[in-house]
Structure 1
Amino acid sequence: MVNTQQISNEHIVSQGEGNIVSDMDGEKVMLSIENGKYYNLGEMGGVIWDLIQSPISINQLVNKLLDQYEVEKSKCEEEVITFLKTLHKEGLIKVEEA
């Protein structure tokens, strides 16, 4: 199992199971069946959530976002990894070695 602090561009991420996700006014909200908590993923978090529906490397995920949005690669990588670490800590995603 990958430690949250070790998450890097080389890891493969995918959605965890047992979450109910819905769109509300352009933002994704989620209920974790496992822990009973609600999460607001926001607009960009919702885009990331959709992109990790199937297993994808963080590097590929960042490149897809760079194709869609004007943002510096280093800034995108930093924010995506921070977001994914939060989701991983809450048990909402799977992170695997490449």
Structure 2
Amino acid sequence: MINTQKVALNCHVVQSLGNIVSDMDGEKVMMSIKNGKYYNLGEIGGIIWDLIKEPVYVHQLIDCLMNEYSIERADCEKQVSLFLESLYAEGLIQIKE
């Protein structure tokens, strides 16, 4: 069953347990023990993954990325939300209102 949930800016997100993550040439790759799949999170996805080791509000995550990268806020919000929603759909993160 695939989980679906929209990610609001005031939600907390955090990594789910049971994933093995490694750095490969500047990108994060992950194996989910739970669902037996491999994932390439990429460079920015890997940074997001590191930032959600502990529960964090999505708006704080976006603020952090905005301080590091030159991107319009609306674009950052959209891309981060889509990325988090895809992680949630695979059971890789938890979302709490």
TM interval, shorter chain, is over 0.9
CA shift, 1:7, in A, is 1.6
Secondary structure in 1 matching 2:5: helix
Question: What are structure 1's unaligned runs of at least 5 residues?
Answer: none
1:26-66: per-residue Cα shift (whole Å, max 9, x none)? 00000000000000000010000000011000000000000
Letter in 1 for 2:14: S
TM-score normalized by the length of structure 2? 0.95
Corresponding position: 1:22 with 2:30: no
1:6-30: per-residue Cα shift (whole Å, max 9, x none)? 3211110001100000000000000
Q: Distance in 2 between matches of 1:74 and 1:82?
A: 12
Partner of 1:59: 59
**Aligned 1:1-98 pairs, distance under 5 A:** 4-97=4-97
Aligned residues: 95
TM-score normalized by the length of structure 1? 0.94
Cα-Cα RMSD:
0.9
Q: Distance in 2 between matches of 1:6 and 1:42?
A: 22
Q: Distance in 1 between matches of 2:40 and 2:46?
A: 9
Letter in 1 for 2:43: E
